[in-house]
Amino acid sequence: LKKIKKMNCKKVLIHDSARPNPSKDLVNKIIHNLKKNHAVVPVIKINDATKRAKENTIFKNIARNSLRFAQTPQGFTFKKIYEKHHKNINTSFDDDSALFTNDEEKVVTITGSKKNLKITDKEDLNIFKSLKKGKTYSGIGFDIHRLVKGRKLYLGGIKIPFALGLQGHSDADPVLHALIDSLLGACKLGDIGKLFSNKNKKYKNIRSTILLKKVIELIKSKNFSINNIDINVIAQKPKIKKYSKKMIQTISKICEINPNQINIKGKTTEKLGLIGKEKAIA
């Protein structure tokens, strides 16, 4: 507090580093409630039966209706908390809000979060790790392009020697286009047409590796990360197996993930339809 006094701040939040998971919403609520209060503490209700015990023996039941678990961060007007710490410099308290209750001053409570747990022992740490795994989202992408003369063939970010290439506004790489759509879909960020319109001249003949890099930057900015990628390349010719390893290496580098997190499979349509007649690749 002495260090930041010269900054002339009006409010201060004091946090226990043993609680590594406070939410942005919780912090904002504390700050908001400091507009009309000098001390704000997040608390959670106690749902378990509460007992007083001695030497492994319960000797008293405690009514839990008015009991709360106090959390951090705890918010204070700077002047007040500074004065109280200065006044009680040689006195120990359980937390900063106790300085106010000790002086019989008002401490306002707001609803805390069970996810804002305190890591005290190994079991707490394991619970925290399970929380941080977060939710998993899946996305599906599909793309198909017609094979034509006079175009280079790009699949999975690599150039493949072939008599025909794929028609499209960009390099027409259906593998990366489908991957981009699946990533955007999983993250609820639209689709490839929304981000890279084929009406925009700057994307004319652009390599899809560049587009994928932009999408990776976008999803990272939204705090998403890729767990794994599974791709089906549907083509009568060329045979995909020969090039799948290099595709995986290229995609893993762009997506900043390990190659073993990517799987690419080549499929034919048994000479059925446009793909089977070697007129398209999907």
- Superfamily of 145-281 according to CATH: 2-C-methyl-D-erythritol 2,4-cyclodiphosphate synthase (3.30.1330.50)
- The stretch 242-261 carries a mean pLDDT of 96
Closest CA to 269 of 240, 242, 236: 236
Question: Residue 131 above 90 pLDDT?
Answer: no
Question: Which string of DSSP letters, residue by residue, matches 128-161?
Answer: HHHHHT-----------EEEETT--EEETTEEE-
Q: At 216, list the tokens.
A: 């990776």
Strand partners, 147: 166
Confidence of residue 129 (pLDDT cuts 50, 70, 90): confident
Tokens of 141: 């992408």
> Whole-structure pTM over 0.75, yes or no?
no
Give the rounded percent of residues in the chain with a pLDDT score beyond 90.
87
Residue 127 pLDDT level (bands cut at 50, 70, 90): confident
Report yes or no: 58 and 44 within 8 Å, Cβ to Cβ: no
Q: With 80 as the cut, is the pLDDT of residue 132 above it?
A: no
**What's the pLDDT score for residue 136?**
87
> According to the CATH classification, is domain 2-132 in 3.90.550.10?
yes
* Domain assignments of the chain as residue spans, ordered by start: 2-132, 145-281
